[in-house]
Chains A and B, each alone.
Chain A
Amino acid sequence: MTADAPHRISQGTSRFWLIGGLIVAAIVAAPIIAIAWIALFPSENIWPHLISTVLPRQIANTASLMLGNGVGVLVIGVASAWLVTTCRFPGRPIFEWALLLPLAVPAYIVAFVYTDVFEFAGIFQTSLRAVFGWQSAQDYWFPNIRSLGGAIFVMSSVLYPYVYLLARATFQEQSVCMLEASRMLGRGPWRTFFTVALPLARPAIVVGLALALMETLADFGTVDFFAVNTLTVGVFNVWLNMGNAGGAAQISLVTLAFVVALLALERIGRRGQRFHHTSTRYRPMPPFELRGLRAAAAFAVCALPIIAGFVIPALVLSRHAIVHFEQSWTPAFFTFARNSILLAACAATGAVVLAIFLAYGRRVAGRTIFGALSRIAMLGYAVPGAVLAIGVIIPLARFDNAVDLLARDLFGVSTGLLLSGTVFAVIFAYIVRFLAVAFGAVEASLTKIRPTMDMAARTLGSGPGETLRRVHLPLVSSSVLAAATIVFVDSMKELPATLILRPFNFDTLATHVFQFASDELLEQSALAALTIVIAGVVPVILLSRAIRSAHPARRAPSFYAAPLPAPSSAGS
């Protein structure tokens, strides 16, 4: 959004957005603030010990993991998005949606599957030994899957869809006019991509990258499984083994500061640039036909990530699910699935509504404190789920106990715990955790709407609410849908916070899988694991179709009377 948002509005209505937005942002930021609060009370100062022992290595490992994953998701996500949007080659219509499939597979399951396949005793190395006649590990060299490289491989394979999804939506909205102008001025297709298309898509790509990196930081399951000693491992070590929750919260905050610094750097990098469309002319790009070797290369670029992030894990899970069907199947299975789906649906709805409220509130009321609070609220995505769960418990339990005390004083009755230990706590945690996903997508999409649109609507007499409903929402609907789907799928997969916050005798598919997976007995719950994947695949495919049909050229007539051109389109 441009800094000098010219659409500030009259005091009365803007106050509603400002105050409402501040309240929402404060509630959502509460868990992060609670973590900061715990950090004030460490049981001992942990830093001298850490700095002299494991910290340097943990920082180096975390930085390498983020760098590796960052490069991985950028290359895979942007390349595949560009190919399926601008080129025509065999399989493209399938790749268009299939590239999203890895989103549905939890990283901890992929880690398990690849260990199964690639470790010394796995099918891959066993076959190699059989073929080449090697006897032991000393006879040949093979990379250890349980390593930093393995973690980068696994996490990049399931995290790239964040970049792909947002990059593709942006490339799709770019009109050919700009690209043609570039070509006419003598630039080749590669240079056009790097100097025009890519810089224009930067805000969206950065959002995708930030999500992938925040998820990298929050991950404990994969790095623990692969024995990569990162800062997150350090957090858990200090918390659980040294019994020092305060010290652990301090490490968490340092990690978050890392994220904040990165995001701030990026913002400074594109300060003063504008990305909204300046022309109302839109022409879709004519597809670029690829043949022969080029088509084969494009095919490989799109197929490999799908195979790595989805096909192989799904096949391995299916095999286990069939072999261990009797151990996997439990009559409570449908209850688990219902719980998962209901929680995820509530979280998706809640996160999207709050994201629109915050993003639009910032647009109309644009105050600094608003920005700061909503940025704090976004940090939930970079915090390990178990740590965030503690951050969620604190404000909820304080609230419950305060209400209880009040009720005892006033009426002599105990209200007990109203919110803690209920599904509300779980949904709240999901919203806090995944709001960044929803907010990022909605805000990136709002950025592309010219401020003159707001002004025109306001001049014609619409209030901010009506402008949102009649102008912005229709324009950002595909992004909103994308946001809701990602939150839904992410919530289905969420494990650590669910475990800690849920009510008694309450299981989701993920918690059911975990009690076996935590003992490395995933085979026994492969059916439930597969169900998590399938339940994620369906909305992912629907999402992809919705995005395609929301293509500016196609959706324009349905939203606007014929003489008006499509407003969200681009031009040079």
Chain B
Amino acid sequence: MKPVVKKSALAGIVVTGIAVASAMAAEEAALNVGEVNVYSYRQPFLVQPLFDAFTEQSGIKVNVLFAKTGLVERLKQEGANSPADLIFTVDIGRLSEAYNASLTQPVTSPALTAAIPDIYREPAGNWYGLTRRARIIYASKERISPEEAPKTYEELADPKWAGRICTRSGNHVYQVGLTAAMVAHHGEAKTEAWLKGIKANLARKPQGNDRAQVKAIREGECDIALGNHYYYVLMQQNEEQSAWAQSVYPVFPTIGDTGTHVNISGMALTKASPNQDNAVKLMEFLAGPLAQQMYAEQNYEYPILDGVPETGVLKAMGPMTSDTLPLADISEHRSAAIKLVDKVGYND
């Protein structure tokens, strides 16, 4: 009798297995009207909620590959057979790199052009900005009065700040972005003098990330620091770091008299994109009101379009007016900026 019992048990398992598997396959087929593949320089935990919302709304599955480096090279080598549809970046540098290497293709979409101001997109539509990230000054509440705090980036080179400034490495993309903006506004010679001035004012050799600079203010190592704006909110929400955030207040400096330097996170459609329609749908979704609001509420980045209602925390940081120079122009000076950073020995 025993073998028979075994056999029927086995058959039962097999049948159940097949049934479950086919049910799952059917469900998947019903859900997915397709896929879109993303090469992302943004960390998955930051963008996954947006992709989930997109999938829920459209039924299109989003496949993600995250890396910090090398995605543009991978795209280039994979050539016409690359599975990637979209490339996501955290700064303008990588976007223009992909564009300059002819790896992108223009997208014409009235929805995108309406949602994204022209200073934050490539004129032909080869890349689009999605969110703005302001490079701001963090000032010590204890040691710097709001009147005394620098109102412009240029002031950071003033000798009165000697030994009081902290920044991260001058080679980091955020610092390079700011330096490139200085070059775009003032030219290389003035920017070099500016970098030398800041370097002379540094309290310590450039090190650590943006949060580490605020931590250094809290610990008394320096009085002012440069950092991206959203870390102010993120630090407040972190048990250990909230004390750091409470020791500073944000200042939105201007370049000359234009506005605060912002970098963008952005996206571009790849030249080889196999799922173009889905890719454009995802682009439009991310530029749309729901996603823009999610960016602001969950990642605390500024929506790409002024006037999209900002959440409480962003509003609480104060009004932000951004630089009016097209980011594509600023981006052209990145190589010059990095060479100036090397030239003045900023990181030594």
Contacts and interface: CB of A to CB of B under 8 A. Distances in A.
Interface of A: 49-50, 52-54, 57, 120-121, 135-137, 144, 146, 226-227, 229, 233, 236-237, 239-243, 245, 386, 389-390, 393-394, 397-398, 400-401, 404, 414, 416-417, 420-421, 496, 499-506, 511, 514-516, 518-520, 523
A11 to B, nearest CB: 41
B162 interface: no
A146 B221 CA distance: 14
Given A236-B69, A500-B74, A515-B45, 13 more contacts: A53-B343, A54-B345, A229-B348, A237-B171, A243-B93, A386-B69, A389-B70, A390-B74, A393-B77, A401-B79, A496-B70, A500-B67, A500-B71
Main secondary structure of the interface of A (DSSP, over half): helix
Given A393-B74, A397-B77, A500 B69 contact: yes
B231 to A, nearest CB: 9
Contacts of B218: 121
Nearest to B239: A323
B43 A243 contact: no
B28 interface: no
Given A53-B345, A397-B78, A137 B43 contact: no
Given A120-B221, A137-B220, A515 B43 contact: yes
A510 to B, nearest CB: 12
Contacts of B81: 400-401, 404, 414, 416-417
A144 B221 CA distance: 12
A505 B64 contact: yes
Size bracket, chain B contacts: 35 or more
Interface of B: 37, 43-45, 63-71, 73-74, 77-83, 93, 97, 100, 169, 171, 173, 176, 204-209, 211-212, 215-216, 218-221, 240, 334-335, 338-339, 342-343, 345, 347-348
B73 to A, nearest CB: 5
A156 B44 CA distance: 33
B37 A397 contact: no
A296 B79 CA distance: 63
B65 A504 contact: yes
**6 A-B pairs with the lowest CB-CB distances in the bound complex, closest first:** A504-B63, A227-B207, A500-B70, A397-B77, A53-B342, A499-B67
A404 B80 CA distance: 10
Contact of B216 (A120, A226, A511, A519): A120
Contacts of A241: 93, 171, 173, 176, 334-335, 338
A144 B208 CA distance: 12
A193 to B, nearest CB: 41
A54 B69 contact: no
11 contacts: A57-B348, A233-B171, A236-B69, A241-B334, A390-B77, A416-B83, A420-B74, A500-B69, A505-B63, A505-B65, A514-B68
B64 A504 contact: yes
B93 A146 contact: no
A417 B345 contact: no
Contacts of B206: 227
A520 B209 contact: yes
Contacts of B240: 523
B98 to A, nearest CB: 10
Contact of B73 (A137, A245, A520): A245
Contacts of B73: 245, 390, 393, 500
Contact of B347 (A120, A121, A136, A229): A229
A213 to B, nearest CB: 23
Contacts of A236: 69
Contacts of B71: 500
A421 B68 contact: no
B96 to A, nearest CB: 8
Contact of A417 (B65, B82, B171, B219): B82
A404 B171 CA distance: 40
B92 to A, nearest CB: 12
Contacts of B176: 241
A504 B37 contact: yes
Nearest to A242: B335
Contacts of A386: 69-70
A49 B339 contact: yes
Contacts of B173: 240-241
A515 B44 contact: yes
Contacts of B220: 135-137
